[in-house]
Amino acid sequence: MKTVLVTGGAGFIGTNFVRWVLGHTDAAVVVLDKLTYAGNAHSLDDLPADRVRLVVGDICDAPLVDSLVGQADAVVHFAAESHNDNSLLDPSPFVTTNLVGTYTLLEAVRRHGTRYHHISTDEVYGDLELDDPARFTEATQYNPSSPYSSTKAGSDLLVRAWVRSFGVKATISNCSNNYGPYQHIEKFIPRQITNVLSGRRPKLYGTGANVRDWIHVDDHNAAVWTILTRGRIGETYLIGADGEKNNREVIEEILRLLGRPADAYDLVADRPGHDLRYAIDSTKLRTELGWAPQYRSFSEGLAATITWYEAHEAWWHDAKAATEAKYAQQGQ
């Protein structure tokens, strides 16, 4: 592939995907990003101009999308409204971006016959009981519980319909929770890291029993490229790194790695409808395509992430006060 169009390529996972592609392939990348609060053009500043081009625009802009898709060998669709708390306050941007935006891209790749990979989330499956030994698989029934996850579920179903009805050359991946560099500090792990680094106490929803299946963003993106280049058209692949941790364990590990007492955090009101547990079974991806995570443990990846935030305070500092003010208004 000579040119890959990456939607949402100035956001967290998209930025890291662009960097992964540049570091592991010879492909050039065109980034299409609306640069909402979650996108940051500075995340791409140090990348070579002869291989990366940023186009500021909306994935719902059909003429723009069509022109960019027509110049690409493949499209990787990361762009999404993705914060659960925000979706509970105002679902409308989630419906527009996640559903209408995906439809716009699908129509463009349909016209041009372009390879398309769709990035989704394990949240489309709902949640599991804390004591349930089961994990999500590609056959798990969808059961979304928030405006965010329901619009992502809807976008997945659009992709499946366009594959079956129109022969679009598409694959889907549903991934567990990502962490790593360039993640907006409203998200759980970077929020707690930057709380400690800026002299604030970390905040834990409820009792901290909720479990997430964590994966370093570089491992996720290596899997995405594997699926894009070797996956079977029309298939869905789940991406996970066997990283189940409850939120209390995550906060305590952050504090330990930063040399703070393990109990130096505050409990805050739980999130409405807070899913209990996510867990991914990535057997299909590992056995069929040979992918495996490179980070050997959650602690290893978390330590690398903390080091990045310590070294890049200029990237997150200006957004910190506003982010914490917003959470304070919500009692969180």
Provide the annotated active-site residues.
122-123, 148
Cβ burial of 250 (10 Å; 0-12, 13-18, 19+) is: buried
Q: In the sheet that 170-175 helps form, which strands lie side by side, from edge to edge?
A: 52-56, 28-33, 3-7, 74-77, 115-121, 170-175, 236-239
Task: Quote the CA–CA distance of 92 and 51 in Å, as a whole number.
Answer: 35
Angle of helix 298-311 relative to helix 313-329, nearest 10 degrees, comes to 100
Give the residue ranges of DSSP H helices in the chain.
12-24, 62-69, 84-89, 92-94, 102-112, 147-166, 188-197, 217-230, 247-257, 283-289, 298-311, 313-329
- In DSSP notation, 194-245 reads HHHHTTPPPEEETTS--EEEEEEHHHHHHHHHHHHHHSPTT-EEEE--S-EE
Task: Quote the CA–CA distance of 163 and 157 in Å, as a whole number.
Answer: 10
Dihedral pair phi/psi, residue 67, rounded to 5°: -65, -40
Q: In DSSP terms, which residues pair with 216 in a beta bridge? A: 179
239 neighbors 279 (Cβ within 8 angstroms): no
* SS3 at position 304: helix
Q: In the sheet that 177-179 helps form, which strands lie side by side, from edge to edge?
A: 177-179, 211-216, 244-246
